[in-house]
Amino acid sequence: MRFSRVLRTGALVAAVGLTLAACGQPNSEEDANKSLVQRAEDNGALTIGVKIDQPGLGLKKPNGSYEGFDVDVAKYVAKELGVEEGDIEFVETPSAQRENMIQKGDVDMIVATYSITPERDKAVDFAGPYFLAHQDLLVREGDNSIQGAEDLNKNKKLCSVKGSTSAQNVRDDFAPNAQLQEYGGYSECLTGVENKAIDAMTTDDTILAGYAAQQPGKFKLVGAELSNENYGIGLRQGDSEGKQALDEAIQKMIDSGEWKKAAQKHFGPAGYEVPEPPTVGEVVE
């Protein structure tokens, strides 16, 4: 397998600084260089990057709240760091901006279907993995022209998201001749499949299952396991204390049964068979 007149300006800057501190974002170089554990303890708050358009994983609801498996994982590990749900600020983290947002200190950590890869590991550190997914294909219900990756080379239009490992896998490996379209978000890809501007959408099976479950009878998963996607929690590179604390929190979630409970809650309705939890600290290639 494969694998964000002088006195008035000064007051505004001060207010912004206080707001960022309250949200758990670093407001000084000293704070930015603290471990995740220390920042959580000092600020009593965390800023966590998530996706906002992935049903079942990370979805922002009309009332402003967030739900999904990744969100549940984020809440659980934050609580293990001493931060309650009400003191978490969730921030959207587009795939192509994740490393930059961690490095700039815009977020304390990212829990957003963030696959652990050697390339990303050069820029940020990862805790976990906390889930093992597989890249798959989503097509319109009734369209049998795509049975596997090889069919994508037959002049098929394929959609993925900019900055995702799925897009890179398409280019480099299983369908180099596919007409790859890279959009900013998964919802745009789904719209393209629905209106027949796109033949198939590719990303992790967990994400595709969430979208398929929202509109029963409209879409289906092909069932191709095109790669292993080890979801990890991204954090600042070199933060060994933070990584260890997150690894321990993930393991506790698994051992307590809360991991399985959350996975079944968010993936079960789509008919997705929840796999066994991964081994923390072991990346499956």
Domain assignment of residue 82, yes or no: yes
21 and 114 share one domain: yes
Domain assignment of residue 179, yes or no: yes
Query: Which residues span the domain enclosing 164?
Result: 133-228
Domain assignment of residue 280, yes or no: no
Q: Where are the alpha helices (DSSP H) in the chain?
A: 6-23, 29-32, 36-43, 69-80, 98-104, 118-121, 165-169, 186-194, 205-214, 240-256, 258-267
Q: Which residues pair with 145 in a beta bridge?
A: none
248 and 163 share one domain: no
CB-based contacts of 214: which residues, under 8 Å, 6+ apart? Answer: 55
Domain assignment of residue 127, yes or no: yes
200 and 243 share one domain: no
172 and 210 share one domain: yes
143 and 37 share one domain: no
93 and 176 share one domain: no
The pLDDT of residue 272 = 79
Q: What CATH number is attached to the domain comprising 11?
A: 3.40.190.10
Tens-digit pLDDT profile for residues 1-14: 333 333 233 333 33
Tens-digit pLDDT profile for residues 233-281: 999 999 999 999 999 999 999 999 999 999 999 887 777 788 899 999 9
Q: How many Å apart are CA 197 and CA 67, to the nearest integer? A: 30
The pLDDT of residue 193 = 97
139 and 104 share one domain: no
As to burial, measured by CB atoms within 10 angstroms (0-12 exposed, 13-18 middle, 19+ buried), residue 251 is: middle
- Domain count across the chain: 2
Q: How many Å apart are CA 40 and CA 246, to the nearest integer? A: 12
Q: How many Å apart are CA 232 and CA 250, to the nearest integer? A: 10
